[in-house]
């Protein structure tokens, strides 16, 4: 079955999905992925339906380009469909974001550069439905354009941990697996990223005052 059809079908399903549906509904992502390994297109469409927008958001926050973000998300899902070595050793989301991280690195290598400016995109800063932390409230309260510009100015690793922890809502242990580094290093990088982001936001506000 052509993958293009599967993506279009997933888009249609997502538009029809009730707002109350969450990613926690049965079957679990891990169960769906095991079925995908057997060529189950229906399970694959469910995974695309659940994870397409989070992946697009992840790539957009790193690239600032909507078209590139959608293309990279599709490339990741192609790898998901073709995967042969998936094992339930960690959460599906951890495995998926690791694929996305590798895809992002490959993209930067092909382009030979990293975008320095972001264009405003409302949906890119859509936060998880659960309770928002005070730290996230501070970020949301700032102008989206200012936040995007400040994030783009951070070192690459600080961008990565900030996006994964504060916007994708992943645990430090998951981020450590995705980036293949110790948990303590993730905690340190998140702390530095938040500090740097706050400083850069103040500088941007001061410049516009």
Give residue-wise pLDDT tens across range 170-180. 899 989 988 88
Q: Could you give the number of structural domains in the chain?
A: 2
Phi, psi of 86 (to 5 degrees): -70, 135
pLDDT given for residue 124 in this prediction: 40
136 and 48, same structural domain? no
100 and 158, same structural domain? no
List the chain residues with pLDDT less than 50. 13-24, 115-130
182 and 146, same structural domain? yes
- Tokens 């059809």 correspond to 5
180 and 202, same structural domain? yes
Give residue-wise pLDDT tens across range 128-176. 444 556 665 555 555 666 777 778 788 888 888 988 888 888 899 989 9
176 and 79, same structural domain? no
**Residue 34 burial (10 A CB sphere; 0-12, 13-18, 19+):** middle
Give buried/exposed letters for 177-204 (b at 16+ CB in 10 A, else e). bbbeeeeeebeebbebbbebbeebbeeb
- If DSSP states are collapsed to H, E and C, what string results for 67-98? HHHHHHHHHHHHHHHHCCCCCCCCCHHHHHHH
Contacts of 188 (CB under 8 A, 6+ apart): none
Token pair for 15: 């538009």
Cβ 196 vs Cβ 139: under 8 Å: no
Determine the structural domain holding residue 33 and report its residue range.
Answer: 1-115
């Amino acid at each position: 079955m052509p993958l293009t059809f599967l993506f279009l079908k997933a888009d249609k399903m997502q538009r029809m999905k009730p707002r109350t549906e969450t990613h926690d509904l049965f079957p679990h992502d891990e169960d769906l992925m095991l079925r995908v390994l057997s060529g189950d297109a229906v399970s694959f469409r469910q995974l695309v339906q659940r994870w397409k927008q989070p992946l697009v958001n992840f790539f957009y926050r790193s690239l600032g380009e909507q078209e590139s973000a959608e293309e990279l998300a599709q490339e990741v899902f192609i790898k998901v469909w073709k995967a042969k070595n998936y094992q339930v050793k960690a959460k599906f989301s951890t495995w998926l974001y690791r694929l996305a991280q590798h895809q992002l690195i490959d993209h930067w290598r092909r382009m030979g550069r990293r975008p320095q400016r972001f264009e405003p995109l409302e949906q890119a800063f859509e936060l998880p439905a659960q309770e928002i932390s005070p730290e996230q409230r501070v970020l949301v309260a700032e102008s989206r354009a200012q936040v995007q510009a400040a994030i783009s100015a951070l070192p690459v690793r600080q961008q990565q941990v900030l996006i994964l922890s504060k916007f994708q809502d992943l645990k430090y242990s998951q981020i450590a697996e995705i980036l293949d580094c110790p948990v303590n290093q993730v905690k340190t990088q998140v702390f530095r990223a938040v500090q740097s982001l706050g400083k850069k936001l103040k500088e941007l506000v001061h410049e516009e005052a």
